[in-house]
Amino acid sequence: VTVAADARARRAPRIRPARLKDAQGLAPLCGQLGYPSTPEEVLARLRRILADPLQAVYVAEIPGRRLVGWIHIFPHVTVESDPCAELGGLVVEEGQRSRGLGGRLMEQAERWARERGYRALTLRSNVLRARAHAFYERLGYASPKSQRVFSKPLRPSR
Ligand SMILES: CC(C)(COP(=O)(O)OP(=O)(O)OC[C@H]1O[C@@H](n2cnc3c(N)ncnc32)[C@H](O)[C@@H]1OP(=O)(O)O)[C@@H](O)C(=O)NCCC(=O)NCCS
């Protein structure tokens, strides 16, 4: 191993499970995904997710503790289909893209799902994210159908 390769390995992001303390670092990445969020909002969401043993969030951290990516997976359980693992979100910091980190986060999510017995990993991606679609196809993901999303704001019950 060369000295340069050694130095590169030391700078390479490390992938590890997320902790509540990561909320501050994850918030700007939510913005880069298109969902501007405050650290407080992310903390409240992380509290629920990390308290649920059926879900997982992994972060990519570079030495110096800066977070440059995250991935969230959870079970999609329905009456009509066998459970599968589903991607809740994936983002790599703008300056760190196209270096394989997104692929590594996907590998981690697939490993998590396989180890828990899931037979498939599913994800939903906005029709506008053409580059992300090429990324998923390269990783072996096919898109068997398209869907429309419906949503309605609900008035609080009290
Ligand atoms: C999609 C994404 C997670 C891939 O991460 P990455 O670390 O760049 O992935 P890799 O280096 O393993 O693979 C690179 C490929 O990802 C895709 N990609 C690269 N930059 C991208 C960008 N700005 N936006 C979307 N996709 C991109 C391309 O297919 C790219 O291939 P190329 O480098 O040959 O053009 C990352 O680009 C990203 O965070 N994009 C914005 C948020 C997003 O679209 N998330 C997915 C939501 S479904």
11-57: per-residue pLDDT in tens? 789 999 999 999 999 999 999 999 999 999 999 999 999 999 999 99
Ligand 1 centre and the CA of 11: distance in Å? Answer: 20
Radius of gyration of the chain (CA): 17
Among 91, 88, 34, 86, which residue's Cα sits nearest to residue 60?
91
19 lines ligand 1 (CB under 6 A): no
Q: For residues 71 and 89, is the Cβ–Cβ distance under 8 A?
A: yes
Ligand 1 centre and the CA of 135: distance in Å? Answer: 6
Task: Give the separation between CA 29 and CA 25, rounded to whole angstroms.
Answer: 7
- Among 30, 70, 98, 147, which is best to mutate for testing ligand 1, by the most ligand atoms less than 8 A from CB? 98
55 lines ligand 1 (CB under 6 A): no
* pLDDT of 5 strictly over 80: no
Query: Alpha carbon of 60 to those of 45, 50, 70, 87, 157: distances in Å?
Result: 19, 17, 6, 16, 40
Q: Kindly report which listed range (51-55, 64-68, 111-115) carries the lowest average pLDDT score.
A: 64-68
* pLDDT of 80 strictly over 80: yes
Neighbours of 108 (CB within 10 A): 18
Task: Give the separation between CA 86 and CA 119, rounded to whole angstroms.
Answer: 11
pTM of the model: 0.93
To the nearest whole number, what is the mean pLDDT of the chain? 95
Task: Give the pLDDT score at 1.
Answer: 60
What does the pLDDT average to over 111-130?
A: 97
